[in-house]
Protein backbone atom coordinates (compact mmCIF):
# COMPACT_ATOMS: atom_id res chain seq x y z
CA UNK A 1 0.00 0.00 0.00
CA UNK A 2 1.41 3.39 -1.03
CA UNK A 3 2.16 5.93 1.70
CA UNK A 4 1.58 9.62 1.17
CA UNK A 5 4.71 11.72 1.37
CA UNK A 6 3.43 13.88 4.23
CA UNK A 7 2.44 10.83 6.26
CA UNK A 8 5.84 9.30 5.67
CA UNK A 9 7.75 12.39 6.79
CA UNK A 10 5.57 12.93 9.85
CA UNK A 11 5.83 9.33 11.06
CA UNK A 12 8.16 8.59 13.93
CA UNK A 13 11.62 7.17 13.20
CA UNK A 14 12.53 3.66 14.25
CA UNK A 15 16.01 2.16 14.58
CA UNK A 16 17.31 -1.25 13.58
CA UNK A 17 20.56 -2.81 14.77
CA UNK A 18 21.67 -5.09 11.94
CA UNK A 19 24.02 -8.06 12.19
CA UNK A 20 25.54 -10.15 14.97
CA UNK A 21 26.73 -8.51 18.15
CA UNK A 22 30.14 -6.92 17.65
CA UNK A 23 31.96 -3.85 16.36
CA UNK A 24 30.61 -4.35 12.81
CA UNK A 25 26.96 -4.14 13.85
CA UNK A 26 25.29 -1.17 12.13
CA UNK A 27 22.48 1.11 13.30
CA UNK A 28 19.88 2.19 10.71
CA UNK A 29 16.99 4.60 11.09
CA UNK A 30 13.84 4.35 8.98
CA UNK A 31 10.37 5.93 9.05
CA UNK A 32 7.75 3.68 10.64
CA UNK A 33 5.10 4.55 8.03
CA UNK A 34 7.08 3.17 5.11
CA UNK A 35 7.72 -0.11 6.91
CA UNK A 36 4.17 -0.48 8.22
CA UNK A 37 2.83 -0.35 4.68
CA UNK A 38 5.03 -3.26 3.62
CA UNK A 39 5.35 -5.76 6.45
CA UNK A 40 2.83 -6.76 9.12
CA UNK A 41 5.45 -8.57 11.26
CA UNK A 42 7.75 -5.52 11.28
CA UNK A 43 4.77 -3.24 11.98
CA UNK A 44 3.95 -5.28 15.09
CA UNK A 45 7.59 -5.12 16.14
CA UNK A 46 7.58 -1.33 15.88
CA UNK A 47 4.13 -0.56 17.28
CA UNK A 48 3.13 -3.48 19.48
CA UNK A 49 3.69 -4.17 23.15
CA UNK A 50 7.09 -5.79 22.74
CA UNK A 51 10.26 -4.34 24.14
CA UNK A 52 11.39 -3.21 20.69
CA UNK A 53 8.35 -0.98 20.27
CA UNK A 54 8.84 0.57 23.70
CA UNK A 55 12.54 1.26 23.15
CA UNK A 56 12.18 2.22 19.49
CA UNK A 57 15.03 -0.11 18.57
CA UNK A 58 14.97 -3.67 17.19
CA UNK A 59 17.90 -6.03 16.64
CA UNK A 60 17.99 -8.25 13.55
CA UNK A 61 21.03 -10.45 14.13
CA UNK A 62 20.39 -12.81 11.24
CA UNK A 63 20.20 -10.08 8.59
CA UNK A 64 23.31 -8.78 6.84
CA UNK A 65 23.90 -5.08 6.30
CA UNK A 66 23.63 -5.04 2.49
CA UNK A 67 20.35 -6.96 2.50
CA UNK A 68 18.80 -4.51 4.94
CA UNK A 69 20.06 -1.56 2.90
CA UNK A 70 18.38 -3.08 -0.17
CA UNK A 71 15.18 -3.49 1.80
CA UNK A 72 15.30 0.16 2.84
CA UNK A 73 15.99 1.21 -0.74
CA UNK A 74 12.99 -0.79 -1.89
CA UNK A 75 10.82 0.62 0.90
CA UNK A 76 11.50 4.19 -0.21
CA UNK A 77 12.11 3.78 -3.94
CA UNK A 78 10.18 0.67 -4.98
CA UNK A 79 13.33 -1.04 -6.28
CA UNK A 80 16.78 -2.00 -5.02
CA UNK A 81 20.32 -1.96 -6.38
CA UNK A 82 22.03 -5.34 -6.86
CA UNK A 83 25.65 -6.28 -6.26
CA UNK A 84 28.22 -3.96 -7.83
CA UNK A 85 29.52 -6.40 -10.42
CA UNK A 86 26.20 -6.21 -12.27
CA UNK A 87 25.38 -3.19 -14.43
CA UNK A 88 22.36 -1.77 -16.21
CA UNK A 89 22.06 -2.84 -19.82
CA UNK A 90 22.68 0.06 -22.19
CA UNK A 91 19.75 -1.03 -24.35
CA UNK A 92 17.82 -4.10 -25.47
CA UNK A 93 18.60 -5.38 -28.93
CA UNK A 94 15.04 -5.74 -30.22
CA UNK A 95 16.19 -6.02 -33.83
CA UNK A 96 17.96 -9.27 -33.04
CA UNK A 97 15.05 -10.70 -31.11
CA UNK A 98 16.63 -10.16 -27.67
CA UNK A 99 13.70 -9.03 -25.57
CA UNK A 100 13.18 -8.73 -21.80
CA UNK A 101 11.56 -11.80 -20.28
CA UNK A 102 8.62 -9.82 -18.89
CA UNK A 103 7.76 -8.69 -22.44
CA UNK A 104 8.23 -12.10 -24.03
CA UNK A 105 4.56 -13.04 -24.37
CA UNK A 106 3.51 -9.66 -25.77
CA UNK A 107 6.25 -9.65 -28.38
CA UNK A 108 6.07 -13.32 -29.34
CA UNK A 109 3.98 -12.68 -32.44
CA UNK A 110 5.86 -9.57 -33.52
CA UNK A 111 9.24 -11.28 -33.38
CA UNK A 112 8.24 -14.74 -34.58
CA UNK A 113 10.59 -14.42 -37.53
CA UNK A 114 13.58 -14.00 -35.22
CA UNK A 115 13.00 -17.22 -33.22
CA UNK A 116 15.48 -19.24 -35.24
CA UNK A 117 18.35 -16.78 -34.75
CA UNK A 118 17.41 -16.27 -31.11
CA UNK A 119 17.57 -20.02 -30.57
CA UNK A 120 21.13 -20.10 -31.87
CA UNK A 121 22.20 -17.19 -29.62
CA UNK A 122 20.59 -18.72 -26.53
CA UNK A 123 22.24 -22.05 -27.24
CA UNK A 124 25.62 -20.28 -27.25
CA UNK A 125 25.15 -19.58 -23.54
CA UNK A 126 25.71 -23.28 -23.00
CA UNK A 127 29.35 -23.03 -24.03
CA UNK A 128 30.34 -26.35 -22.45
CA UNK A 129 27.66 -28.42 -24.16
CA UNK A 130 28.67 -30.96 -26.78
CA UNK A 131 25.07 -32.17 -27.20
CA UNK A 132 22.97 -29.05 -26.82
CA UNK A 133 20.64 -30.27 -29.54
CA UNK A 134 20.06 -33.66 -27.88
CA UNK A 135 17.48 -34.45 -25.20
CA UNK A 136 14.26 -36.34 -24.59
CA UNK A 137 10.66 -35.26 -24.32
CA UNK A 138 8.21 -33.55 -26.64
CA UNK A 139 9.19 -30.59 -28.76
CA UNK A 140 6.81 -27.66 -28.36
CA UNK A 141 7.63 -26.64 -31.93
CA UNK A 142 7.20 -29.89 -33.85
CA UNK A 143 5.50 -32.24 -31.36
CA UNK A 144 8.05 -35.01 -31.97
CA UNK A 145 9.42 -37.25 -29.23
CA UNK A 146 12.75 -38.99 -28.76
CA UNK A 147 16.32 -38.09 -29.59
CA UNK A 148 16.91 -34.92 -31.56
CA UNK A 149 14.46 -32.88 -29.46
CA UNK A 150 16.18 -29.62 -28.46
CA UNK A 151 17.37 -29.21 -24.89
CA UNK A 152 16.59 -25.61 -25.77
CA UNK A 153 12.99 -26.34 -24.74
CA UNK A 154 14.06 -26.52 -21.10
CA UNK A 155 15.93 -23.25 -21.41
CA UNK A 156 12.94 -21.60 -23.07
CA UNK A 157 10.73 -22.82 -20.24
CA UNK A 158 13.11 -21.31 -17.72
CA UNK A 159 13.28 -17.99 -19.55
CA UNK A 160 9.50 -17.73 -19.69
CA UNK A 161 9.13 -17.94 -15.93
CA UNK A 162 7.59 -14.78 -14.43
CA UNK A 163 7.83 -13.62 -10.85
CA UNK A 164 6.90 -9.95 -10.68
CA UNK A 165 4.33 -7.70 -12.32
CA UNK A 166 6.54 -4.72 -11.54
CA UNK A 167 9.16 -3.87 -14.18
CA UNK A 168 12.32 -3.17 -12.14
CA UNK A 169 14.73 -0.43 -13.13
CA UNK A 170 17.65 -2.83 -13.04
CA UNK A 171 18.51 -5.53 -15.53
CA UNK A 172 21.83 -7.40 -15.43
CA UNK A 173 24.24 -7.32 -18.33
CA UNK A 174 24.54 -10.46 -20.41
CA UNK A 175 27.73 -11.83 -18.83
CA UNK A 176 28.75 -11.53 -15.20
CA UNK A 177 32.37 -11.00 -14.22
CA UNK A 178 34.08 -12.48 -11.20
CA UNK A 179 32.64 -11.20 -7.96
CA UNK A 180 34.22 -8.10 -6.50
CA UNK A 181 32.71 -8.71 -3.06
CA UNK A 182 31.22 -11.48 -0.95
CA UNK A 183 27.68 -10.87 -2.16
CA UNK A 184 28.14 -12.91 -5.32
CA UNK A 185 26.26 -12.53 -8.61
CA UNK A 186 23.18 -14.30 -7.21
CA UNK A 187 23.46 -14.07 -3.42
CA UNK A 188 22.18 -10.51 -3.12
CA UNK A 189 18.84 -11.41 -4.69
CA UNK A 190 18.55 -14.71 -2.80
CA UNK A 191 19.17 -12.92 0.50
CA UNK A 192 16.59 -10.26 -0.28
CA UNK A 193 14.13 -13.05 -1.07
CA UNK A 194 14.82 -14.73 2.28
CA UNK A 195 14.34 -11.41 4.11
CA UNK A 196 11.07 -10.75 2.28
CA UNK A 197 9.85 -14.26 3.02
CA UNK A 198 10.72 -13.92 6.70
CA UNK A 199 8.88 -10.61 7.11
CA UNK A 200 6.02 -11.31 4.70
CA UNK A 201 6.76 -8.69 2.04
CA UNK A 202 5.13 -10.31 -0.97
CA UNK A 203 6.01 -7.72 -3.63
CA UNK A 204 9.66 -7.59 -2.58
CA UNK A 205 9.78 -11.38 -2.61
CA UNK A 206 8.51 -11.44 -6.20
CA UNK A 207 10.90 -8.68 -7.24
CA UNK A 208 13.91 -10.53 -5.78
CA UNK A 209 12.92 -13.69 -7.64
CA UNK A 210 12.52 -11.71 -10.85
CA UNK A 211 15.98 -10.14 -10.49
CA UNK A 212 17.58 -13.49 -9.68
CA UNK A 213 15.83 -15.06 -12.65
CA UNK A 214 17.22 -12.38 -14.95
CA UNK A 215 20.71 -12.83 -13.50
CA UNK A 216 20.56 -16.58 -14.10
CA UNK A 217 19.31 -16.03 -17.65
CA UNK A 218 22.33 -13.78 -18.23
CA UNK A 219 24.84 -16.22 -16.73
CA UNK A 220 27.44 -17.66 -19.11
CA UNK A 221 27.32 -21.42 -18.64
CA UNK A 222 30.92 -22.65 -18.88
CA UNK A 223 32.94 -25.26 -17.03
CA UNK A 224 34.79 -23.74 -14.10
CA UNK A 225 32.07 -21.18 -13.35
CA UNK A 226 29.53 -23.54 -11.82
CA UNK A 227 30.69 -22.78 -8.28
CA UNK A 228 28.38 -19.74 -8.22
CA UNK A 229 25.40 -21.95 -9.04
CA UNK A 230 26.43 -24.59 -6.50
CA UNK A 231 26.75 -21.90 -3.81
CA UNK A 232 23.28 -20.67 -4.69
CA UNK A 233 21.87 -24.20 -4.44
CA UNK A 234 23.45 -24.71 -1.02
CA UNK A 235 22.13 -21.35 0.19
CA UNK A 236 18.66 -22.05 -1.16
CA UNK A 237 18.45 -25.46 0.47
CA UNK A 238 19.65 -24.33 3.88
CA UNK A 239 16.74 -24.77 6.28
CA UNK A 240 17.61 -21.47 7.95
CA UNK A 241 16.89 -19.67 4.66
CA UNK A 242 13.91 -21.37 3.02
CA UNK A 243 11.03 -23.49 4.23
CA UNK A 244 11.34 -27.26 4.24
CA UNK A 245 8.93 -29.43 2.33
CA UNK A 246 8.12 -33.11 2.36
CA UNK A 247 7.84 -35.27 -0.73
CA UNK A 248 4.81 -34.31 -2.79
CA UNK A 249 4.44 -30.88 -1.19
CA UNK A 250 4.88 -27.59 -3.02
CA UNK A 251 8.52 -26.51 -3.24
CA UNK A 252 9.67 -23.09 -2.07
CA UNK A 253 9.81 -20.68 -5.03
CA UNK A 254 13.54 -20.02 -4.70
CA UNK A 255 14.32 -23.73 -4.52
CA UNK A 256 12.13 -24.42 -7.53
CA UNK A 257 13.92 -21.81 -9.63
CA UNK A 258 17.36 -23.10 -8.66
CA UNK A 259 16.46 -26.72 -9.39
CA UNK A 260 15.00 -25.79 -12.78
CA UNK A 261 18.18 -23.93 -13.69
CA UNK A 262 20.42 -26.79 -12.55
CA UNK A 263 18.42 -29.18 -14.75
CA UNK A 264 19.01 -26.83 -17.69
CA UNK A 265 22.78 -26.79 -17.14
CA UNK A 266 23.10 -30.34 -15.87
CA UNK A 267 25.56 -31.50 -18.56
CA UNK A 268 28.01 -28.81 -17.40
CA UNK A 269 27.46 -28.69 -13.64
CA UNK A 270 27.68 -32.47 -13.25
CA UNK A 271 31.36 -32.23 -14.22
CA UNK A 272 32.10 -30.11 -11.14
CA UNK A 273 33.45 -32.12 -8.18
CA UNK A 274 31.69 -29.83 -5.69
CA UNK A 275 28.37 -30.65 -7.30
CA UNK A 276 29.05 -34.36 -7.02
CA UNK A 277 29.85 -33.92 -3.33
CA UNK A 278 26.59 -32.03 -2.88
CA UNK A 279 24.70 -34.89 -4.53
CA UNK A 280 26.47 -37.44 -2.34
CA UNK A 281 25.16 -35.61 0.71
CA UNK A 282 21.62 -36.31 -0.46
CA UNK A 283 18.88 -34.36 1.27
CA UNK A 284 16.06 -32.32 -0.20
CA UNK A 285 18.15 -30.84 -3.03
CA UNK A 286 19.10 -34.27 -4.38
CA UNK A 287 15.48 -35.41 -4.06
CA UNK A 288 14.00 -32.38 -5.85
CA UNK A 289 16.67 -32.44 -8.56
CA UNK A 290 16.10 -36.14 -9.22
CA UNK A 291 12.37 -35.53 -9.57
CA UNK A 292 12.98 -32.65 -11.99
CA UNK A 293 15.46 -34.69 -14.04
CA UNK A 294 12.78 -37.35 -14.31
CA UNK A 295 10.40 -34.76 -15.76
CA UNK A 296 13.12 -33.70 -18.18
CA UNK A 297 13.44 -37.24 -19.49
CA UNK A 298 9.67 -37.62 -19.91
CA UNK A 299 9.38 -34.21 -21.55
CA UNK A 300 7.56 -32.36 -18.73
CA UNK A 301 9.83 -29.32 -18.11
CA UNK A 302 7.54 -27.58 -15.66
14 exposed, middle or buried (CB, 10 Å; 0-12, 13-18, 19+)?
buried
Q: Would you state the pLDDT for residue 168?
A: 64
Mean pLDDT on 182-191: 80
The DSSP bridge partners found for residue 13 are 31
pLDDT band, residue 276 (cuts 50/70/90): very high
Highest mean pLDDT among 79-83, 99-103, 213-217, 239-243 belongs to: 213-217
Mean pLDDT on 172-196 = 69
| pLDDT at position 178 over 70 | no
Which pLDDT belongs to residue 29?
94
Per residue in 47-97, pLDDT (tens digit) is 888 888 889 999 999 999 999 999 999 999 889 988 754 333 333 333 333
39 pLDDT more than 90:
yes
Please state whether 167 falls in left (phi above 0), alpha (psi between -120 and 50) or beta: beta
What percent of the residues of the chain are helix, what percent strand, and what percent coil, each to the nearest 5? 50, 5, 45
Q: Where are the beta strands (DSSP E) in the chain?
A: 13-18, 26-31, 57-60
Of the ranges 98-112, 156-170, 190-204, which is most confident?
A: 190-204
Which sign, positive or negative, has the C-alpha torsion 127, 215, 92, 103?
A: positive
Cβ-based neighbours of 132, under 8 Å, separated by 6 or more: 123, 126, 150, 151, 152
Give mean pLDDT, residues 116-144. 40
Question: Which DSSP state fits 114?
Answer: G
Angle in degrees, CA 86, 90, 94, rounded to 5 = 115
Looking only at the bridges linking them, the beta strands covering 57-60 and 13-18 are parallel
Q: Go through 142-173 and write b for each residue having 16 or more CB atoms within 10 A of its CB, e for each that does not.
A: eeeeeeebbbbbbbbbbbebebbeeebebbbe
Residue 35 reports pLDDT greater than 50: yes
By C-alpha distance, which of 259, 267, 263 is closest to 154?
263
Among 136-140, 195-199, 220-224, 263-267, which stretch is predicted with the lowest mean pLDDT?
Answer: 136-140
Residue 120 parent element (H or E): helix 115-123
- Look at residue 261 in the predicted model and tell me its pLDDT: 94
- Let me know if 177 is exposed, middle or buried by CB neighbors in 10 A (0-12, 13-18, 19+): exposed
Length of the chain measured in residues: 302
Instruction: Give the mean model confidence (pLDDT) for residues 122-134.
Output: 39
Q: Which distant-in-sequence residues (6+ apart) come within 8 Å of 72 by Cβ?
A: 28, 30
Least confident of 21-35, 164-178, 265-279: 164-178
Q: What is the pLDDT of residue 172?
A: 55
User: Which of 87, 141, 85 is CA-nearest to residue 118?
Assistant: 141
Query: Whole-angstrom Cα distance, residue 28 to residue 257?
Result: 32
Ranked by mean pLDDT, the top range of 7-11, 18-22, 148-152, 154-158 is 18-22
Q: Residues of the chain with pLDDT > 70: what percent?
A: 66
Distance of alpha carbon 238 from alpha carbon 209, whole angstroms: 17
Question: At 221, is the pLDDT very low, low, confident or very high (cuts 50, 70, 90)?
Answer: confident
Q: How far, rounded to the nearest angstrom, does the alpha carbon of residue 40 sit from its chain's CA centroid?
A: 23
Strand 57-60's sheet: what is its strand order?
Answer: 26-31, 13-18, 57-60
Amino acid sequence: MAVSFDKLLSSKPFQFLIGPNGPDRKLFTIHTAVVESLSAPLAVMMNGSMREAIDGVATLEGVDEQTFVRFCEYAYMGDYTPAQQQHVLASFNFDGGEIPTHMGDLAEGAFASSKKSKKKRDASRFAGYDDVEESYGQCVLCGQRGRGVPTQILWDEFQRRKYSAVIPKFRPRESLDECENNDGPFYCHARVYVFAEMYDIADLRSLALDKLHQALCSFKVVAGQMGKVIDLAQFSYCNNNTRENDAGQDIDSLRRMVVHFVVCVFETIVKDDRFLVLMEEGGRFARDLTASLGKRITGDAR
